[in-house]
């Protein structure tokens, strides 16, 4: 079936900017509301709340979402299992139709959903718009992929016997999603398993519960039956382990940090009383993504690609370039251009559409400033390195040079606007430095040397390699996304093998009597 990506909005066109501002104004009128959990057909409140604030203007309450606890996780798993058989028995065509309707609802609400993301996650217009476009793409792409997985398939023939194989859904899964693509990743991790017949408990990041509530609103409007998507928002300490440990959780679809992923993987390995399966765990985790620039590159182009890769959404993308590796002969010239462009970046409240806004929360700001302190002791600060304007969790765009490849700055994921520039003697050295990390998510090379580009294809150990372009911005269907090494379990969101992971193969052999 055919698929094409949702076009991104061009904000160079004034009418689009105006339309976006209108959506921001409309959503502003809805800020501060209270939201319940959704468990089956019930809207549940516990009397406790998690508050979500605009990270760039922390005095602004985006909304309050009900704080669920272990009891609500239990109820949500029950509701999801109660719905599972009926949902799994529906035809693939029917589920595909609902996924397409969900895409339509999101299309219809495109700027409204993006505006919620601007308020809650601090995304500027283009980043928020791309988040919604990607969510739509996941619905449409998996809708295009799913029909091929339906029905029975004959195995090799044998006289007197009919042998067939079919793919059946696993059951009830937990979707544990991060805040940095609050709509796209949640939607992709939910609609993929759901379209092939699984039901789900959604546990979004406590930093972006209100965008998750918008997802539920869209799913209801699209006509998904109650119990397919069950939303439990809450604090990690209250519900994270409980959901992972629960004997009725069949599979876990996780995107987030390495440390949380490892914890989930370890805990999910235990088989608890009453549990009928080994839990299937899919993990998409962090990165320490590198862009290599060699001496054959156009330096102006390379510097621009590096700025886009390093500071889009303030470096808060798993694919963000946090290491810029320059070969010695062009190092100083590249760094000069890179720093000049970086110093021009504007930060401020996301509603004003700056280059990037505040970091998601205080913890992220403190963590980033902590790494900046480490950098000030161990490397050379070229620009940035301070908290930004008051009123939000800002950090200015920061560049360190003379960073040692094995230093903390060059090895650990910071997840903020901090780029470490590393000097390499030549291309071979640069490639070795790029690969010298436990992560393997994205990476890139800017070069005009065909042999080196080909070598990078073979030797650069990342799940998503970008040649002669920025290293962020994977499109569903075009660049299936996911990492090697400790960046993930090669789930590859938006790729042709994704849906198969939420299905088990069942074989039926029938002897023909007479």
Tell me how far apart the alpha carbons of residues 186 and 152 are, in angstroms, rounded to a whole number: 30
**Least distance (Å) from ligand NAD to the CB of residue 481?**
6
> Cα–Cα distance between 101 and 482 in angstroms, integer?
27
Q: Shortest gap between Cβ of 205 and ligand NAD (angstroms)?
A: 4
Cα–Cα dist 362/248, whole Å: 35
Pick the closest to residue 202 from 35, 37, 34 (CA basis).
Answer: 37
| Residues that are catalytic | 284, 318
Rg (CA), the chain: 23
User: Quick one: 117 or 180, whose CB is closer to ligand NAD?
Assistant: 180
Q: To 10 degrees, what angle do helices 92-108 and 209-222 make?
A: 120
Spell out the SS3 assignment of 193-219.
Answer: HHHCCCEEEEECCCCCHHHHHHHHHHH
Q: Count CB-CB contacts under 10 A for residue 174.
A: 29
Q: Which C-beta is closer to ligand NAD: that of 112 or that of 238?
A: 238
**Hey, which bits of 369-410 come out as E strands?**
380-383, 398-401
Nearer to ligand NAD, 146 or 281 (CB): 281
- Residue 476 neighbours by CB under 8 Å, 6+ apart: 5, 134, 137, 138, 141, 188, 493, 494
Cα-flanking dihedrals φ and ψ of residue 482, to 5°?
165, 155
What is the spatial order of strands in the sheet that 49-54 belongs to?
33-35, 57-66, 49-54
Residues in a beta bridge with 65: 35, 50
Whose Cβ is closer to ligand NAD: residue 173's or residue 204's? 204
Question: CB within 8 A of 336, min separation 6: which ones?
Answer: none
The enclosing H or E element of 190 equals helix 184-195
CB of 283 vs ligand NAD, minimal distance in Å: 8
Closer to ligand NAD by Cβ: residue 186 or 299: 186
Name the minimum Å distance from CB 483 to ligand NAD.
5
Among candidate residues 222, 226, 193, 229, the one with its CA nearest the CA of residue 101: 222
- Helices 92-108, 184-195: axis angle to 10 degrees equals 160
Q: Closest distance between ligand NAD and the C-beta of residue 207, in Å?
A: 7
Minimum Å gap between C-beta 52 and ligand NAD is 13
**Closest approach of Cβ 284 to ligand NAD, in Å?**
4
For residues 278 and 388, what is the distance between their CA atoms, to the nearest angstrom?
47
Rounded to a whole number of angstroms, the minimum distance from the CB of residue 477 to ligand NAD is 15
Where residue 367 falls (left for φ over 0; alpha for ψ -120 to 50; beta otherwise) is: alpha
Provide the binding-site residues for ligand NAD, judged by CB under 6 A: 176-181, 185, 203-206, 236, 240-241, 244, 255-257, 260, 263-264, 284-287, 318, 413, 415, 441, 481-483, 487-488
Minimum CB–partner distance for residue 438 and ligand NAD (Å): 13
Which one, 367 or 423, has the nearer CB to ligand NAD?
Answer: 367
Would you list the DSSP string of 17-64?
A: HHHHHHHHHHHHTTTTEEE-EEETTEEE--S-EEEEEETTEEEEEEEE
By C-beta, is 72 or 413 nearer to ligand NAD?
Answer: 413
**Dihedral (Cα; 413, 415, 417, 422), 10-degree rounding:** 10
Distance of CA 196 to CAs 1, 73, 89, Å?
16, 23, 10
Q: Name the residue nearer to ligand NAD (CB basis): 288 or 452.
A: 288
Q: Please, which residue, 447 or 472, has the CB nearer to ligand NAD?
A: 472
């Amino acid at each position: 079936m055919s698929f094409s990506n949702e076009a991104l909005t061009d904000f160079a066109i004034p009418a689009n900017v105006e339309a976006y501002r209108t959506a921001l104004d409309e959503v502003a009128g809805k800020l501060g509301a209270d939201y319940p959990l959704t468990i089956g057909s019930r809207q549940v409140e516990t009397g406790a709340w998690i508050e979500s604030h605009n990270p760039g203007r922390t005095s602004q309450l985006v909304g309050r979402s009900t704080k669920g606890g272990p009891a609500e996780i239990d109820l949500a798993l029950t509701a999801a299992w109660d719905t599972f058989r009926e949902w799994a028995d529906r035809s693939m065509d029917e589920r595909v139709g609902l996924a397409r309707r969900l895409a339509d609802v999101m299309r219809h609400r495109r700027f409204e959903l993006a505006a919620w993301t601007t308020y809650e996650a601090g995304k500027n217009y283009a980043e928020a718009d791309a988040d919604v476009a990607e969510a739509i793409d996941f619905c449409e792409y998996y809708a295009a992929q799913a029909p091929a997985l339906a029905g029975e398939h004959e195995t090799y023939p044998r006289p007197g016997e009919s042998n067939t194989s079919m793919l059946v859904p696993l059951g009830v899964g937990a979707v544990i999603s991060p805040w940095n693509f609050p709509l796209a990743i949640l939607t992709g991790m939910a609609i993929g398993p759901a379209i092939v017949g699984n039901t789900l408990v959604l546990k979004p990041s406590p930093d972006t519960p209100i965008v998750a509530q918008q997802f539920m609103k869209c799913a209801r409007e699209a006509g998904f039956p109650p119990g397919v998507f069950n939303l439990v928002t809450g604090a990690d300490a209250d519900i994270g382990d409980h959901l992972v440990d629960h004997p009725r959780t069949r599979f876990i679809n996780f995107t987030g940090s390495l440390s949380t992923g490892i914890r989930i993987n370890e805990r999910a390995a235990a088989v608890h009383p009453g549990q009928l399966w080994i839990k299937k765990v899919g993990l998409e985790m962090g990165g320490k993504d590198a862009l290599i620039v060699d001496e054959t590159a156009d330096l102006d182009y390379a510097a621009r690609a590096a700025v886009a890769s390093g500071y889009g959404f303030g470096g808060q993308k798993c694919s963000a370039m946090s290491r810029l590796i320059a070969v010695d002969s062009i190092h100083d010239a590249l760094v000069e251009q890179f720093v000049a462009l970086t110093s021009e970046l504007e930060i401020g409240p996301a509603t004003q559409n700056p280059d990037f806004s505040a970091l998601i929360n205080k913890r992220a700001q403190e963590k980033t400033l902590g790494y900046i302190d480490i950098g000030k002791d161990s490397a050379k600060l070229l620009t940035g390195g301070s908290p930004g304007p008051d009123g939000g969790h800002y950090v200015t765009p920061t560049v360190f040079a003379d960073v040692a490849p094995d230093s903390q700055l060059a090895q650990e994921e910071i997840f903020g606007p901090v780029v470490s520039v590393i000097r390499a003697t030549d291309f071979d050295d640069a490639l070795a430095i790029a690969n010298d990390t436990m992560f393997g998510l994205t990476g890139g090379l800017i070069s005009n040397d065909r042999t080196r580009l080909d070598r990078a294809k073979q030797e650069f150990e990342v799940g998503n390699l970008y040649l002669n372009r920025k290293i962020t911005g994977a499109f569903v269907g075009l660049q299936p996304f996911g990492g090697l090494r400790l960046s993930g379990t090669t789930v590859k969101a938006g790729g042709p093998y994704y849906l198969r992971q939420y299905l088990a193969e069942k074989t039926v052999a029938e002897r023909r009597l007479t």
